[in-house]
Amino acid sequence: MSNPQITIYRLQACPFCERAVRKLQEYDLSYTSRFVEPLHSQRNVVKRESGVRTVPVIIDEATGVTMAESANIVEYLDRTYGEQASEPHTEATATVAEERS
Amino acid sequence: MELDFDVIELDEPDHPEVGETAPDFERPLVTDEYWEDTTLSALTETGPVALVFHPMNGAFPATYIWNELRDRGFDEYDIHVVGLSISTPYEHKNLLRERELTETEIRLFSDPANEIAEQYGIVNDLDGMAGITEPRPATFVIDTDRTIQYAWAATEHPEFPDYDEFEAAVEEIQ
């Protein structure tokens, strides 16, 4: 996978965020960390980017996917960058569209 | 003039001078909304930089320096205005709010280990705070080649930047 542009919004010491980060590391994906604050009210940037105030949220420039919820993120990363990844981009985009509906 | 309080003389600073390349570094850069590891060179690639080293957040010089830069409208210049202190990202977010900088593009680097001040030759050892050092107040204007166009560092404690000189250097580089 050639230099994916992934941004992850995360909270320090948040186990859900660590789970997503571990998965990024597992697939050797390069990512940028943006740390936000514990108070949801101070997470306007996450809300603007993703529609929710929870973290983690990842933004994958390579596929155009923005995704919240660590379980979804892990599944997305497995599907897109894991060994079974096949035609990942189309599939991933379709999934996100579904989740947003 | 004889004053009845002591201004402490600091050792001569040993900072990079005008015409030299500003040492590059990477630290969390804090906005009102998040922080992200950022290099000085990433900033200079997109425009000149006004770099302001200041005492830890909460100390009155930090408050006065940012009030002054805000009131002078430094943010309106076409230049990255960034601060740097040993305070944590959480404290920087508070400073941005308390100094009413959240509507500006001003951002703050966090360097609790004080290594950047070390790199820039402007360390201030704090008497009575064991284990804590911080940058002395210092201001640099750095162009897009990362060449220093203006440099000032405090030689006594406390001492404030020469705001007129600093602003003139910022005006000139645009």
Nearest CB to B89: which of A35, A42, A45? Answer: A35
Residue of B nearest to A38 (CA): B90
Closest CA to B85 of B149, B48, B132, B24: B132
User: Residue B104's domain spans which residues?
Assistant: 14-173
Over the stretch B77-131, which tens digit does the pLDDT of each residue have?
A: 999 999 999 999 999 999 999 999 999 999 999 999 999 999 999 999 999 999 9
Judging contacts by C-beta atoms under 8 Å, the chain A residues touching residue B90 are: 37
Query: Global pTM?
Result: 0.89
Query: Mean pLDDT, to the nearest integer, of A21-50?
Result: 96
Backbone angle region of A64, left / alpha / beta, with phi > 0 → left and psi within -120 to 50 → alpha = left
Looking at the complex, report in whole angstroms how far the Cα of residue B34 sits from the nearest Cα belonging to chain A: 5
Report the SS3 class of residue A47.
Answer: helix
Residue of B nearest to A8 (CA): B36
**At B79, which helix (H) or strand (E)?**
none
DSSP letter string, B90-138: HHHHHHHHHTT-TTS--EEEE-TT-HHHHHTT-EEEPTTSTT-EEEPSE
Say what percent of chain B tops pLDDT 90. Answer: 90
For residue B5, being part of any structural domain is answered with: no
How many domains does chain B divide into? Answer: 1
**Domains of chain A listed by start with CATH number:** 6-96 (3.40.30.10)
Closest CA to B57 of B32, B33, B93: B93
Q: For residue B74, which amino acid is it?
A: F
Q: In this model, does residue A2 exceed pLDDT 50?
A: no
**At B150, which helix (H) or strand (E)?**
strand B148-153
For residue B161, being part of any structural domain is answered with: yes
For residue B1, being part of any structural domain is answered with: no
Per-residue confidence (pLDDT) for residue B83, from 0 to 100: 98
Report the SS3 class of residue A45.
Answer: helix
Do B148 and B141 form a contact (C-beta atoms < 8 A)? Answer: yes
Angle between helix A70-81 and A88-100 (nearest 10)? 160
Dist CA B45 CA B144 (whole Å)? 6
Per-residue confidence (pLDDT) for residue A89, from 0 to 100: 53
Q: Please report, for the domain that includes residue B75, its CATH number.
A: 3.40.30.10
Q: In this model, does residue A98 exceed pLDDT 60?
A: no
For residue B7, being part of any structural domain is answered with: no
Nearest CB to A36: which of B28, B34, B37? Answer: B34
For residue B77, being part of any structural domain is answered with: yes
**At A65, which helix (H) or strand (E)?**
strand A65-68
Do the Cβ atoms of B93 and A44 come within 8 Å?
no
Q: In this model, does residue A31 exceed pLDDT 70?
A: yes
Backbone angle region of A80, left / alpha / beta, with phi > 0 → left and psi within -120 to 50 → alpha = alpha
For residue B3, being part of any structural domain is answered with: no
Is-cis flag, bond preceding A56, omega within 30? yes
ipTM of this predicted structure: 0.89
Do the Cβ atoms of A32 and B37 come within 8 Å?
yes
Per-residue confidence (pLDDT) for residue B3, from 0 to 100: 67
For residue B94, being part of any structural domain is answered with: yes
For residue B9, being part of any structural domain is answered with: no
Q: Which of A33-47, A85-99, B41-55, B74-88 has the lowest mean pLDDT?
A: A85-99
Q: In this model, does residue A96 exceed pLDDT 60?
A: no
Looking at the complex, report in whole angstroms how far the Cα of residue B65 sits from the nearest Cα belonging to chain A: 26
Query: Mean pLDDT, to the nearest integer, of A90-101?
Result: 43
Nearest CB to A34: which of B34, B90, B93? Answer: B34
A30 interfacial to chain B (CB closer than 8 Å):
no
Over the stretch B122-169, which tens digit does the pLDDT of each residue have?
A: 999 999 999 999 999 999 999 999 999 999 999 998 899 999 999 999
Residues of B with CB under 8 A from a CB of A: 28, 33-37, 89-90, 93
Interface test with A, best of B29, B30, B31, B33 (most A CBs within 10 A): B33
Q: For residue B22, which amino acid is it?
A: A
Do A14 and A55 form a contact (C-beta atoms < 8 A)? Answer: yes
